[in-house]
Structure 1
Amino acid sequence: MSQPDEIRKIQTQGVHHITLTGADRQTSIDFWEGVLGMPFIFDQPNLDNPDEGHLYFDPGDGRLITIFTNETRTPDPARTPTDPGCVHHLAFNVSQASFWQAAKRLEARGIKHSGPKDRGFMDSIYFTDPMGLLIELASYRFEPPEGCRHADVMIEAHRIRVARGDHHIDREHLADAIELLVERRHQSLSADRGAKNPY
């Protein structure tokens, strides 16, 4: 009698791309490159639908945002569905320098937005694309230590927050997580690496 195959994970290694249904070609280029600054890097037909185009944009990390276009579709600013299983929003990373210019630059185009939102570990601002999809511009309030990722800091900050019974991650949790990661991952000749007051 044969044994069933062992159940194993399929290990992901990052987001490869996200594909959205857009309106016409020019609206897509004007928004993704002309508003969000994503270089337009690749253009071909939708290989599953010859009536559509397939545009590729670089969101800044070498991954891809792709858009299916059709010249018969027009922008519809009504909010996209948020039912279970639907995409609620897409968040894109921006620097603090860019984040604090975002509201002014959206307003120059007449784009309504949420204004800056304090998320404890990051700052956020929300607005919709021409198709009604909610877009978030998110900016971390910290840089991870050398050799660490933002996710490494976040999981340590979460553990610290939970241990202290705090409501959400904030700057102090992040600072303590960064200190912990440096102590754990970076060597020192000192026998005692505790905090000191030399004054």
Structure 2
Amino acid sequence: MLQTGIHHVTAIAGRAQRNLDFYTRVLGLRLVKKTVNFDDPGTYHFYYGDEAGHPGAILTFFPWEHAAPGRLGVGETQEVVFRVPAGSIGYWTHRLVEKGAPHDAPEKRFGETVLAFRDPDGMRLALVGVPGAESEPAWSGADVPAEHAIRGFHSASLLVGRAEPTGAILTDVLGFREVAREGSVIRYGAGDAVLGGLIDLREAGNFPRGRPGAGTVHHVAFRAASDAVQAEMVQRLAEVHGIRATEQKDRNYFRSVYFREPSGILFEIATDDPGFAADEPAESLGQSLKLPRFLEPHRESIEAALPALT
């Protein structure tokens, strides 16, 4: 079956060091790529994920030192949700307490145990206990024991004015189908995708619109197996839904097009290839600052402008 689902999620953070510490040391994710925002090279672009940086496991950040806090509202991603083994929710509850991360009591959603929490910028995150996840490979190079480690994305929850127009894009263009409903939430699934296979739409009606800033999601990227599949999606988006995507942009580790879905959330369609080992060996991912070819001549000035990291 053609693989679909979430490719990555990109968010906005404040201080770079604080962001790096939280995602690698508290959540135990691997820093799989340390580069810069190609459109604003004075800012880092961090990619966190599993050992190999598989699609469906990558959360990325633009850490702008003086970014004002964002505000959640319609047209925003409400929550980014990770998968952990079903028996690990207790471990994570204790860990979040120990690390001083604000969190809610575990609750049931769609029959699954969910632990919601926030990062240092207030971004809304959650962990879902998934039966059988303990048998999946896990990144073991962090402070979190492999048996409790995060295993990629479970889902992303989107806050929309009306669910139907966004649902039509998910089902007609991006390879999802409706799989469940609970209260005001409609759940969509991407076939048999293990990582990042679910999107929840929360219909919020006339709730105020969100404001981008630190602690909010910049965009959600969906998978395309190839350039040809991506082009088919872009064509269908235009012909059936009257939405035009941008031209394709080369992001070194995938090739992307962007568009806004009917509630205003920025969506991306990203190719699976060439992946994060395109410019450094898999065993040393994230250890050195990687720049695209067009920025390499400016490396010295870029490195001088970036905040120091420890």
Bigger drift between 18-27 and 117-126 goes to 18-27
1:105 alignment counterpart: 236
In the alignment, the residues of structure 2 paired with residue 158 and residue 137 of structure 1 have an alpha-carbon distance, to the nearest angstrom, of 27
1:66 alignment counterpart: 200
Residue 37 of structure 1 deviates from its aligned partner by: 2.6
> Which residue, out of 69, 87, 110, partners 2:217?
87
2:159 alignment counterpart: 21
Contact 1:103 1:113 in 2 (8 A): yes
Q: How does 1:14-163 map to 2 (within 5 A)?
A: 14-45=152-183, 53-60=184-191, 61-62=193-194, 63-70=197-204, 72-73=205-206, 81-96=211-226, 97-108=228-239, 109-142=241-274, 156=281, 159=284
The one-character-per-residue Cα deviations of 1:115-168 (angstroms, maximum 9, x if unpaired) are 1111223210000111111101000334xxxxxxx56677626959988x9733
Cα RMSD, aligned residues only: 3.7
Quickly say closer, same or farther: Cα 1:24–1:118, change in 2 above 3 A: same
In the alignment, the residues of structure 2 paired with residue 155 and residue 12 of structure 1 have an alpha-carbon distance, to the nearest angstrom, of 24
By relative contact order (CA 8 Å, sep 6+), the higher-ranking structure is: 2
Bigger drift between 36-45 and 154-163 goes to 154-163
Q: Across the two proteins, how many residue pairs are aligned to each other?
A: 147
Runs of 5+ unmatched residues, structure 1 = 46-52, 143-149, 170-199
Residue 20 of structure 1 deviates from its aligned partner by: 1.1
1:48 alignment counterpart: none
Work out the percentage of aligned pairs sharing the same amino acid: 23
Q: Residue 111 of structure 1 aligns to which amino acid in structure 2?
A: I
1:102 partner SS: helix
**Structure 2 length-normalised TM:** 0.40
Contact 2:223 2:269 in 1 (8 A): yes
**Structure 1 length-normalised TM:** 0.59
Q: Residue 156 of structure 2 aligns to which amino acid in structure 1?
A: I
Residue 69 of structure 1 deviates from its aligned partner by: 1.7
In the alignment, the residues of structure 2 paired with residue 134 and residue 106 of structure 1 have an alpha-carbon distance, to the nearest angstrom, of 14
Quickly say closer, same or farther: Cα 1:12–1:151, change in 2 above 3 A: farther
Runs of 5+ unmatched residues, structure 2 = 1-96, 100-142, 294-310
Q: Residue 105 of structure 1 aligns to which amino acid in structure 2?
A: R
Quickly say closer, same or farther: Cα 1:43–1:168, change in 2 above 3 A: same
In the alignment, the residues of structure 2 paired with residue 29 and residue 166 of structure 1 have an alpha-carbon distance, to the nearest angstrom, of 37
Quickly say closer, same or farther: Cα 1:111–1:158, change in 2 above 3 A: farther
Contact 2:174 2:222 in 1 (8 A): no
Q: Residue 69 of structure 1 aligns to which amino acid in structure 2?
A: E
Q: Which runs of 4+ in 1 moved over 3 A?
A: 5-10, 150-155, 157-163
Residue 110 of structure 1 deviates from its aligned partner by: 1.9
Contact 1:161 1:167 in 2 (8 A): no
